[in-house]
Chain A
Amino acid sequence: MLDARDIELLAQVSDGLPLCPRPYAQIGMAIGMDEAEIISRLTLLKNQGLIKRLGVIVKHRPLGYRANAMIVWNVPDGLIKQLGRHISRFSFVTLCYQRPKLPIWPYNLYCMIHGKDRATVLAQLAQLDNACGLANFERQILFSRRCFKQRGAVYQAQQTQETANG
């Protein structure tokens, strides 16, 4: 799906878009592609979903989002899809995944909530419980105590990496 030119283009934009009136033309100058080709390739990569989103990636803490909780539930397999879809519709939910249960960790539905403080996050969780009928499932709330590392996406011609937002 990705050809050599796409890879070159992705490597060039991975650190960020230039801040100038014709950013795509400037990217093109660096890799010998004209502006129209950059625009058509990026549009295609976006439509194919390889680029999930183009825009700003914020740091949570400077915006006042000091509390981040990972909430995990043990829900029946038959309900997980419906619950996952319901949970992910709430604007304060920043990530929602199904993961495998482990003997030490019997949880299969995960979501992240970023809030201004812990009380806000807990109030939002109560809202989820009510709206999605989650109150009776076994769960854990893991607030983050410290963030040791949060780096952005890395994409180089020989390397493919991405990070989810923490």
Chain B
Amino acid sequence: MDDIDRHIINTLQTGFPICDAPYRQVAESLSINETELLTRLQALLADGTLTRFGPLYNAEQMGGALTLAAVKVPTERFDKVTDIINAFPEVAHNYARNHKLNMWFVLATETSEQQRQTINTIEGQTGLTVYNMPKLKEYFVNLKLEA
């Protein structure tokens, strides 16, 4: 990754134009040509620096349900429980964290009813209590990681 790549990433985290020739517009603002921009984006996607290039949706406005949940997993069962929980397609993110509540995951479902069912099923399969912490309010942040 060189300075041009960093510049591309930083610029495209703030948005992408919706117009006939959006790459040309972005390329001009970066003082490179359109072909170079496309080639570099392709490479950044291929090497895994970028997860995706496209839209980020607002799940709740789409009618979906998102929540953050945590479980307290006994150390000796950690790998087993990880496998069980990650096998659910509804589990979007899952992190081990340094606390007694040591596994934190995000559940994305189409409805809140499915969210409740998924939590029940996870509790049934793991024998652990799932603590559900749905968001009450989101404070807007301008998500941008300086490359």
1/0 per residue A103-142: CB within 8 Å of B? Answer: 0110010100010000000000000000000000000101
* A54 and B54 contacting across the interface, CB-CB below 8 Å: yes
* A98 and B137 contacting across the interface, CB-CB below 8 Å: yes
* A13 and B49 contacting across the interface, CB-CB below 8 Å: no
Bound state CA distance, A147 and B93, in angstroms? Answer: 8
- Shortest beta-carbon distance, B73 to chain A, in Å? 12
Chain A residues near B54 (CB-CB < 8 A): 13-17, 54, 57
**Would you list which residues of chain B between 98 and 147 have a CB under 8 Å from chain A?**
98-99, 101, 104-106, 108-110, 131, 133-145, 147
* A145 and B16 contacting across the interface, CB-CB below 8 Å: no
User: What DSSP secondary structure best describes chain A's contact surface?
Assistant: mixed
Q: Is A70 an interface residue (CB 8 A)?
A: yes
Chain B: how many interface residues by the 8 Å CB criterion?
73
1/0 per residue A75-90: CB within 8 Å of B? Answer: 0000011001101100
Chain A residues near B90 (CB-CB < 8 A): 161
Bound state CA distance, A29 and B53, in angstroms? Answer: 19
Bound state CA distance, A70 and B96, in angstroms? Answer: 11
* A100 and B136 contacting across the interface, CB-CB below 8 Å: yes
* A97 and B137 contacting across the interface, CB-CB below 8 Å: yes
Chain B residues near A100 (CB-CB < 8 A): 133-134, 136
Closest to B64 in A: A160
Q: Is B29 an interface residue (CB 8 A)?
A: no
Contact A59 B99, CB 8 Å, known A24-B20, A70-B104: no
Closest to A93 in B: B141
* B9 and A58 contacting across the interface, CB-CB below 8 Å: yes
